[in-house]
C-alpha cells in the first residue's frame, strides 16, 4: 500500500498535481479508477496492464514499485518486537522509500524534488542525532552541502557551466547528517566515480552526446543505499578501494 502511495508521489510531485484528496484517474481517458482497480500488484494483473476504459497500457513501473516496496518492508521487518525495533523499522523503510522515489523521479524528470529532500533530511537528522555525536551530524551535513557547492562554483568559474544540480547538492547535505564527514566525502567520490563510468560508457556507445546532462541522483542513491543498508559490506569495499 505504501508502494502504491509512492507511485502517486512519483507521478504527482514532478507534474505538480496536488497530493490532496483527488481521486486517481487514468491520465489518458480521465476515467476514475475504482477501488478494486487500485489494489497493489493484483489489479495490474487483473487488468492485464491496461486501463479498463481506454485500454491504454499502464506502466510496468506501478507494479514494480509496489513489489519492491513490499519486499523491502518484509526484509526490513524486525524479527522480535520492541518499540525500539519498530522505530528503526520506520526509519529504514522510510529512507528506502525516499530513495526509491528520488531514483525514479530523477531518471524520468531529471529533478530531485525539494519536498522529498527535506523529508529525508528530517529523518536523517533525527536518527543521526540518536546514533552519533552532535558534531558528526553537524559537520557531516555542512560538508555534504558546502563541498559539492564549492566544487560546482569552481567548475562554473572554469567552464562557465553549472555542473551539478541544486537537488544533488541538497541531497548530499541531507545524507551528510547521517553519514558524517568521512561517510559523505566517500559518498561524493564514489558517486562521481560511478557517474563518470556510466556517463563515459553511454557516450562511447553513442546513446548520448557529450553536451547532454545525465541525472546524477541515481548514482548518489546507489552508493548511499549500500552505505546505509549494508554498512559493513560498504566499509569492506572502501578498505579495498581507498585503503582506510
Residues contributing to the site for Zn ion (CB under 5 A): 26, 28-29, 31, 51, 53-54, 56
The three cell numbers of residue 10 are: 512519483
DSSP reduced 3-state for 54 = coil
Q: Residue 72: which of 106, 98, 50 has the closest Cα?
A: 98
Residue for grid cell 547532454: 212
Q: How far is the CB of 183 from Zn ion (least distance, A)?
A: 46
Pick between residue 26 and residue 208 the one whose CB is nearest to Zn ion: 26
* Smaller CB separation from Zn ion, 30 or 209: 30
CB 140 within 8 A of CB 176: yes
Nearer to Zn ion, 26 or 149 (CB): 26
Q: Residues 139, 189: contact at Cβ < 8 Å?
A: no
User: Are 130 and 36 a contacting pair, CB within 8 Å?
Assistant: no
CB of 31 to Zn ion, least distance (A): 5
Comparison of 43 and 69: residue with beta carbon closer to Zn ion: 43
Which value, in Å, is the radius of gyration of the alpha carbons in the chain? 20
- Centre a 10 Å sphere on the Cβ of residue 48 and count the other Cβ atoms it contains: 10
- Nearest to Zn ion of 57, 108 (CB atom): 57
- Tell me the closest approach of the beta carbon of residue 65 to Zn ion, in angstroms: 20
Q: How far is the CB of 55 from Zn ion (least distance, A)?
A: 7
82 Cβ partners below 8 Å, 6+ apart? none
Query: How far apart are CB 141 and Zn ion at their closest, in Å?
Result: 45
Amino acid at each position: 500500500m505504501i508502494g502504491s502511495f509512492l507511485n502517486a508521489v512519483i507521478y504527482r510531485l514532478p507534474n505538480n498535481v496536488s497530493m490532496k484528496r483527488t481521486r486517481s484517474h487514468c491520465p489518458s481517458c480521465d476515467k476514475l479508477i475504482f477501488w478494486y482497480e487500485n489494489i497493489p500488484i493484483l489489479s495490474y494483473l487483473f487488468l492485464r496492464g491496461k486501463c479498463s476504459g481506454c485500454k491504454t497500457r499502464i506502466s510496468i513501473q506501478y507494479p514494480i514499485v509496489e513489489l519492491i516496496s513490499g519486499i523491502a518492508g518484509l526484509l526490513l521487518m524486525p524479527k522480535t518486537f520492541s518499540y525500539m525495533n519498530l522505530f528503526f523499522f520506520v526509519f529504514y523503510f522510510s529512507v528506502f522509500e525516499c530513495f526509491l522515489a528520488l531514483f525514479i523521479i530523477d531518471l524520468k524528470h531529471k529533478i530531485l524534488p525539494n519536498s522529498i529532500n527535506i523529508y529525508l533530511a528530517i529523518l536523517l537528522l533525527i536518527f543521526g542525532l540518536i546514533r552519533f555525536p552532535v558534531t558528526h551530524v553537524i559537520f557531516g551535513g555542512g560538508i555534504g552541502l558546502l563541498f559539492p557547492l564549492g566544487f560546482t562554483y569552481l567548475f562554473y568559474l572554469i567552464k562557465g557551466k553549472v555542473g551539478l544540480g541544486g537537488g544533488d547538492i541538497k541531497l548530499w547535505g541531507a545524507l551528510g547528517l547521517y553519514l558524517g564527514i568521512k561517510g559523505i566525502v566517500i559518498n561524493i567520490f564514489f558517486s562521481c566515480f560511478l557517474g563518470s563510468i556510466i556517463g563515459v560508457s553511454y557516450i562511447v556507445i553513442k546513446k548520448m552526446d557529450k553536451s547532454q546532462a545525465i541525472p546524477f541522483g541515481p548514482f548518489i542513491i546507489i552508493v548511499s543505499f549500500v552505505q546505509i543498508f549494508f554498512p559493513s559490506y560498504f566499509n569492506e569495499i572502501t578498505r579495498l578501494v581507498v585503503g582506510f
